[in-house]
Structure 1
Amino acid sequence: MKIVIAGGGKVGSVLCAELTSQKHDVMLIETNETIFDQLMSRYDLSGVIGNAASYEIQQEVGINKTDIFIAVTDTDEINIIASILAKSLGARYTVARVRNPEYSQHAHEVSESLGIDLMINPEQEAAKTISHMIKFPTVVHAQKFMSSDVELLEVVVKADSPLENVTMADFKDKFGDLLVCAIVRSDQVIVPNANDTLKAGDRIDVLGSQNDIYKFYQQIRTERHRLKSVMIIGGGRLTYYLLNYLREFHLDIKVIEWKEEAAEQLSAAFPEVEVILGDSTEQELLLQEGVGNYDVFVSLLGIDEENIMASLFAQQQGVSKVITKVNREALFSLFKNFGLDTIITPKRLIANSILRFVRSLGNPSVSYLEELYRLSDNQAELIQFKVNNSSKVLNTPLEQLNLKDNTLIAYILRDHKTIIPSGQDRLEVGDHVIIMTNAATMDDIDDILR
C-alpha cells in the first residue's frame, strides 16, 4: 500500500521504521529539514519538506493515489486539517493523532463528521493501560481485548511463587481454564508445549476470560491488602486522562506538578485529588510528601532520565508498584539491571494502534484483523481475526492444519463463549480467533499456514 506519514517525530519515526520494514510504499511530510534528512537516510522511504496541511504539498506527494494518510505532527489542528484535506483530495483512509481533551472527549462524533477514519490519542491510550496496571499491581502488564471478554496478563515468575516449577501440562489443573501463550527466558520467546516448565525469572503471558484471569491473579498476587493510594509525579495531559480512569477505583491520590497553571487546572478538574505544587525530581520533597507510604508510584514527567531516577528512588523507599513512562526504547535495557519492569511508552502504544489499523485493511475478504498487541519487547504478537467464509482454515481439525513455526491458535470466541481449542476443534465462519505468533507480517488468518 501507498502510505503518507505527516510528521517525523516520536510516533512518525516508529511508523516509518515499521511500515517500511513491511514493504509498504511510504512517503514522509516533515517541516524540520534535520529530522527529514535523518529519517530519509535511515529508512527506505521518500518524501517532501513542508506543511502537511498545504494543498500544494499534498498534491506533490500524490495524495489522490494514497491508500492511507497518517497525520502525527505535534499540532492537533494541523493533523485534523491535513486529514480532511487528504480525504477530500482522494486518500482512501485517513488517521489523525489528536491529544487535546476537548477534541478527544468526542473523538467518534468528530471523526465521523469530518471524514477522518481513525482519531487516536497517545496520552489517553497510555492512561488506559496504566489504569489496568494499577488494577493488577502484581503483574508487569495487563491488557483487555476490547471486543471480547478476554484479558492478557504479563507476569514475572518469582522464586518460591505458586508458578515456579509448574509444567504446562499441569498449568490448567492448578490455575484453571487459562493459556500460557508465551514464555520469555533469557530474551528469547518460547511458544510453550506441554513439556515446558516455568522457572524463576521467566516472564509469561497468560490469556483467559475476565473471570478466570481474576481468579488466577488472586492465586499469584503478592500483596494481600487492597490498594488504597497512588502518588503521581507530573501533571500533564497523560495525568489528566489517568485521573479520569482512576475515579472508579476510589483511591487516595496525590499529584506533584511544578507548573502552577497545570497544578491549578488539575486541582479544579479533580477536587478529590490532592495536588502539590513542587519539583518532584527533588528527593527531599518526595520524602516530605510521604512517598514510601503509597502503594503505587507513577512517574509521568517529560524527561526519561528524571522518570527513571524518581522511580528508582520510590522503589528504594519501599513502594511495591512503580510505573515509569519512558519514550526512548533504547533505554529499556537499563530497566532489567535496575529492576524496574513496569514501563509505559505512549508512542509505542499509539504506533501499535495505527499499525493495527493499517494491517486490518490487508485482506478483508478472508478475515478481518480486529486487534493486535505486541508482546515481549515486540518479539511476538497477539492478533485477533474475525474469520470470513473464504478462509482456507475453515472446517478442518486444528491438529491437521500445517501451521507455521512459533504460531499458536490461542483462543476461539464463538457466540459469546470463549474456547481454548484442542486439536479436534475446527474454525467456523464468524469466529473471532486469537493467534500468538512471532511473524511480524501476519495480516490475515490464512497467514498462519505454511
Structure 2
Amino acid sequence: MKIIIVGAGKIGESLCRDLASEGNDITLIEQNSKILDRVLSSSDIMGLMGNGANCDILTEANVKSCDVFIAVTQSDEINIISSVMAKKLGAKYSIARVRNPEYFTQMKFMSESLGIDAMLNPEAEAAYYIAKNLEFPTALNVESFSENKVNIVELMVTEGSYLDGIKLSEFKNKYFKRIIVCIVKRGNEVYIPTGNFVLEAKDKIYVTGVQSELSNFYKSLGHAEERIKSVVIVGGGRITYYLTNILLEKKIDVKIIELNEDRAKHLSEIFENAIVVHGNGTNSELLEEERFGEYDACVSLTGIDEENIIISMYANKIGIKKNITKINGISLFNVLELVGLQSIVTPKKIVADNIVKIVRSLASSQKEDNIETLYRIADNNVEAIEFKVPENSLICNIPLKDLNIKKNLLIAYIIRYNQLIFTDGRDVIKFGDRVIIVTTEKYLNDVNKILM
C-alpha cells in the first residue's frame, strides 16, 4: 500500500519503521530537515521536507494516489487540516492524531463533517488502558478484546506457587478449564506453549479468560483481589484529565499531585470531587505529608520518564500494591527489567498499534475492516489479533482439529452472537464469527493466513 505520513515524532518514526517492514510504500513529510534525515537513514522510505498542510507539498507527495494518509504532527490543527486536504486531493483513507481535550467530545462530529476517516487521541486511549489495568491489581498488564468480554493478563510466576513446575495440560485439567496460558516469556525467549509446556518461577505468563474466571485464578494464587478504591496520580497532564474523569465515575478516590501551580489550580476547578495538590511528586517529604503510602494505586504521569520510574520504584518500596508508569522513551524498555516496574503504559505505542490495525485491515484481501483489535505484546514478539471472519473464508465450517494451522499460532476463542466459545478440536468457525488469534508470526492481515 502507498502510505503518506506527516510528522516524524515518536509516533511517526515508529510508524515509518513498522509499516515499511510490512512491505508498504512509505513517504514521510517533515518540516525539520535534521529529523527527516535521521529517520530516512534508519528506514527504507521516501522523504519530503515541508508542511503537511501545504497543498503544493501534498501534491508533490502524490497524495492523490495514496491509500492511507496519516497526520501525527505535534499540532492538532495541522493534523486536521492536512487530513481534510488529503481526502479532497484523492487520498482513499485519512487518519489524524488529535490530542486537545477541548476537541475530544467533538471528535465524532468533526470526523463525520470533515470527512476524516479516523481521529485518534493517544492520551484518551492511554487513560482507558490505565483504568482497565486498575481493575486487575495483581496483573502486570491487561489487554481487552471484544468490548471487554475477554482479557489477556500478564502475570509473573512466583517461586513456590502451584504454577511453579506445573505442566499446562495439568493446569487446565485440574484447575481452570476456561483459562488459557497463551504466551510464556522466559528470559529473552517467547513461547506459544502447548499442553506439555512446564512453567517455571520468574516466567511471565499471559493468561486469557473472562473476568470472573480470572478473578478466581487470582484467588487461587493467594491474591485477595480487592477493588482499587483510591488512586494517587503524579502529574496533571492530558492523560490525568481523561483518567480522573473515568475514575471519579467509578467512585474511586483520586488525589492529583502537580508541580505547575496554574495547572494544579485549573484541575482543582474542573474536578471538585478530586484532591489536587500543588507540589513536586518526587519530594519524599511532600509524599509523606500527603499520606502517599495509604493509597491503593499510584499512577506516574509526569512528562519525564525518569521521574515516573523513580516515583513508581518508591511507591513499590513503601508497599503501594498497584503501580502504573508512563514511559515515552522506547529506548528505556531495554532496562526496565532492572527496576522492577509493574505496569507500563506508552501512549504513543497504543496509537501506533491502532494505526497498524487500521492499515492491515485496509490492506487485507477482503478490503474491509476485518481486524477488530490488535495488540503487540511480549516486547512486540507476539501479536494478539481479533479477526472478523468473512463469508467464504477458507477456515469456515471445518473442525479446528482438521485445520492445517501454522506453527506458533493459537486460536484462543471464537465469539459468536456475543457469546464466548472455549474451543476444542470439534468446534468450527462460521461466517460472522470473531476469532482471537495469538501468534509469533508478524504482519497477519487476513484470517485465512493462519493456515499453512
Q: Check the 8 A contact 2:137/2:227 in 1, yes or no.
A: no
Normalising by structure 2, report the TM-score: 0.96
TM-aligned CA distance change 1:428 to 1:226, over 3 Å: closer
Aligned to 2:2: 2
Aligned to 1:50: 50
Q: Check the 8 A contact 2:137/2:225 in 1, yes or no.
A: no
Aligned to 2:149: 149
The whole-number CA distance in structure 1 between the counterparts of 2:396 and 2:252 is 48
Normalising by structure 1, report the TM-score: 0.96
The amino acid that maps onto 2:403 is L
The whole-number CA distance in structure 2 between the counterparts of 1:401 and 1:357 is 27
The whole-number CA distance in structure 2 between the counterparts of 1:362 and 1:218 is 43
The whole-number CA distance in structure 1 between the counterparts of 2:323 and 2:363 is 39
Q: Deviations over 1:132-154 (max 9, x none)?
A: 11111100111221446222211
2:406 is paired with a residue of what secondary structure? coil
Matches within 5 A, 1:324-403: 324-363=325-364, 365=366, 368-403=370-405
Matches within 5 A, 1:182-221: 182-220=183-221
Q: Check the 8 A contact 1:179/1:206 in 2, yes or no.
A: yes
2:445 is paired with a residue of what secondary structure? coil
Aligned to 2:263: 262
The whole-number CA distance in structure 2 between the counterparts of 1:270 and 1:190 is 45
Aligned to 2:116: 116
The amino acid that maps onto 1:416 is N
The whole-number CA distance in structure 2 between the counterparts of 1:199 and 1:422 is 26
Q: Which shifted more, 151-160 or 433-442?
A: 151-160
The whole-number CA distance in structure 2 between the counterparts of 1:6 and 1:91 is 13
The amino acid that maps onto 1:70 is I
How far residue 381 of structure 1 moved from its aligned partner, in angstroms, is 0.6
1:361 is paired with a residue of what secondary structure? helix
The whole-number CA distance in structure 2 between the counterparts of 1:401 and 1:234 is 51
1:437 aligns with 2:449: no
How far residue 244 of structure 1 moved from its aligned partner, in angstroms, is 1.1
Q: Check the 8 A contact 2:141/2:154 in 1, yes or no.
A: yes
Structure 1, unaligned runs of 5 or more: none
Aligned to 1:98: 98
Aligned to 1:273: 274
Q: Check the 8 A contact 2:218/2:224 in 1, yes or no.
A: no
1:409 aligns with 2:411: yes
TM-aligned CA distance change 1:148 to 1:277, over 3 Å: closer
Structure 2, unaligned runs of 5 or more: none
The amino acid that maps onto 2:307 is E
Matches within 5 A, 1:132-143: 132-143=132-143
The amino acid that maps onto 1:20 is A
Q: Check the 8 A contact 1:95/1:116 in 2, yes or no.
A: yes
Q: Check the 8 A contact 2:218/2:225 in 1, yes or no.
A: no
TM-aligned CA distance change 1:218 to 1:176, over 3 Å: farther
Q: Check the 8 A contact 1:138/1:221 in 2, yes or no.
A: no
Aligned to 2:429: 427
Q: Deviations over 1:421-450 (max 9, x none)?
A: 212222111111111111111110111112
1:216 is paired with a residue of what secondary structure? helix
Q: Deviations over 1:295-328 (max 9, x none)?
A: 2111101111111112212222222221111111
TM-aligned CA distance change 1:115 to 1:91, over 3 Å: same
The whole-number CA distance in structure 1 between the counterparts of 2:126 and 2:444 is 25
How far residue 221 of structure 1 moved from its aligned partner, in angstroms, is 5.9
How far residue 418 of structure 1 moved from its aligned partner, in angstroms, is 1.1
List, as ranges, runs of 4+ consecutive aligned residues in structure 1 with deviation greater than 6 Å. Answer: none
The whole-number CA distance in structure 1 between the counterparts of 2:365 and 2:432 is 13
How far residue 224 of structure 1 moved from its aligned partner, in angstroms, is 5.3
Q: Check the 8 A contact 2:192/2:440 in 1, yes or no.
A: no
